[in-house]
Amino acid sequence: MSAMQGLRGRRTAASLLVVGAAVAALAIVRATGGGESEYQPLLYLPVVLAVAGASLPVALAVGLLLSLASFFALHPSPLSAWPTREDALRAVTINVMTLIGAVYAQLIEGERVRMHRRMAEQDLLLNATQIVQAASKLEYAVHSVLEMLPRIVPELRCAAVYLSDERGTHLELYDIVGIDRADIRAHRLRAADWPHWRTGRPHHVEDTLREPANAMARLDPGARSVLALPLGGRVGGMVLTCASPGAFTPERQTLLAAFAERVSLPLQKVRLQEGLEDLAFTDAMTGLFNFRCFRSHLENEIKRSVRYRRPVSLIILDLDDFKAVNDRHGHPAGDRVLAAVAAIIRDNIRETDIAAR
């Protein structure tokens, strides 16, 4: 049962209790002498119950009906009697008490709901920080962040994280939830296409149909509203989309901006740590594994081969006349050739293969 259904159920039960209390109070007063009954104060009990537990319309309706019903309960012959000044004063008192009490109760309930929402938001932000800090890999940290976003925006269509390159000129799509990668129109963004990314301010597109030229509005073909949140210049940013316009209200934008600020530093630390680990095992120029890592993998593969009696395949590549490239065009050109060859190798091996320099 949702929180809204639970609230409706409690208000329905409270309304039934108020009606029962009103009927009982009227019956007791009527049976004990009407206008001479010492139990007349019981007539105000349903008003107190309505103010405390029922909704504002129900409380007002109870006050109005009770003020009319009390006339019949207090007079011996209500059909032939005319309302007195005392009856009118009692009716006004009941309705004014009900109105003031119901409005005050609604204000208290609204403040309680807002306080509960703020506490839930703080718990969410704290949990987000702890989850990201506990992640040992950037992949896990980013996916955890994306999985928490629907708790803030239940109707979220998609959420994507883009990571910036070393120079901060481009952002690459790293992970996405909600829709497939193929549905995103741009897997690589220029920093210039992301307004306010460098300044650290969110970028909101309230309705994509009104901003067809906006690069962020064109990312998700099925989106009508977009919110882009920077994660710091060394990390990148998040892009959130919804299928309806105006889904990112100012309150949601504030909470999502606080969420992005909370997770940006832990993400930066995880990425930096992972980058340092990569440097320990990869060749900086080509991005392939270095010799130390290759030797370790080769020893393990040989042991596995002996254990399971399966062959090990090893390919050694050499670039013919590579020295001539360096002599003729310079070492920077030679470095670019090595990087290009390494990229071709990475694109043509299996996930279980090891490529090293």
Q: List pLDDT tens digits, range 48-77.
A: 767 666 666 777 777 777 776 676 666 666
Average pLDDT rounded to a whole number, residues 190-214: 85
- Give percent above pLDDT 70 in the chain: 82
Q: Judging by DSSP bridges, how do beta strands 170-177 and 203-205 pair with one another?
A: unpaired
Superfamily (CATH) of domain 138-280:
GAF domain (3.30.450.40)
Q: Band the pLDDT of 1: cuts 50, 70, 90.
A: very low
Lookup: tokens for 171: 């952002």
Any idea what DSSP says for residue 124?
H
Lookup: tokens for 232: 């710091």
* CATH entry 3.40.50.620 includes domain 282-347: no
d(CA 243, CA 154): 12
- Segment among 35-44, 102-111, 246-255, 259-268 with least mean pLDDT: 35-44
HSE, CB side, 13 Å, CA atoms: give it for residue 11.
Answer: 15
- The yes-or-no verdict on residue 82 having pLDDT over 70 is no
- Residue 253: partners with Cβ closer than 8 Å, 6 or more residues away: 202, 204, 227
- The yes-or-no verdict on residue 40 having pLDDT over 80 is no
Q: Band the pLDDT of 227: cuts 50, 70, 90.
A: very high
pLDDT of residue 228: 92
- The yes-or-no verdict on residue 79 having pLDDT over 60 is no
Q: Is-contact 188 170, C-beta < 8 A?
A: yes
- Give percent above pLDDT 90 in the chain: 13
- Segment among 182-186, 213-217, 230-234, 276-280 with least mean pLDDT: 276-280
Q: DSSP 3-state assignment of 176?
A: strand
Q: Band the pLDDT of 157: cuts 50, 70, 90.
A: very high
Mean pLDDT across the chain, nearest whole number?
80
Question: What are the residue ranges of helices labelled H in the chain?
Answer: 3-31, 45-53, 56-74, 85-134, 138-148, 250-281, 291-308, 322-329, 331-347
CA-based max dimension of the chain: 120
User: Helix crossing, 85-134 with 138-148: angle to 10°?
Assistant: 170
Q: Band the pLDDT of 115: cuts 50, 70, 90.
A: confident
- The yes-or-no verdict on residue 4 having pLDDT over 60 is no
Any idea what DSSP says for residue 36?
G
Backbone angles phi, psi at 313, to 5 degrees: -105, 135
Which residue has better confidence, 181 or 10?
A: 181
Give the gyration radius of the chain's Cα atoms: 35
Name the burial class of residue 131, with classes exposed (0-12), middle (13-18) and buried (19+) by CB atoms within 10 angstroms of its CB: middle
DSSP assignment of 133-154 equals HH-SSHHHHHHHHHHHGGGT-T
Q: Is-contact 103 236, C-beta < 8 A?
A: no
Pick from 229, 78, 96, 37: which is nearest to 152 by CA?
229
Q: What type of residue is 92?
A: V
Lookup: tokens for 164: 């910036």
- Residue 322: partners with Cβ closer than 8 Å, 6 or more residues away: 334, 337
- Segment among 16-25, 151-160, 161-170 with least mean pLDDT: 16-25
Name the burial class of residue 140, with classes exposed (0-12), middle (13-18) and buried (19+) by CB atoms within 10 angstroms of its CB: middle
- The yes-or-no verdict on residue 257 having pLDDT over 70 is yes
Token pair 């955890």 is at which residue? 144
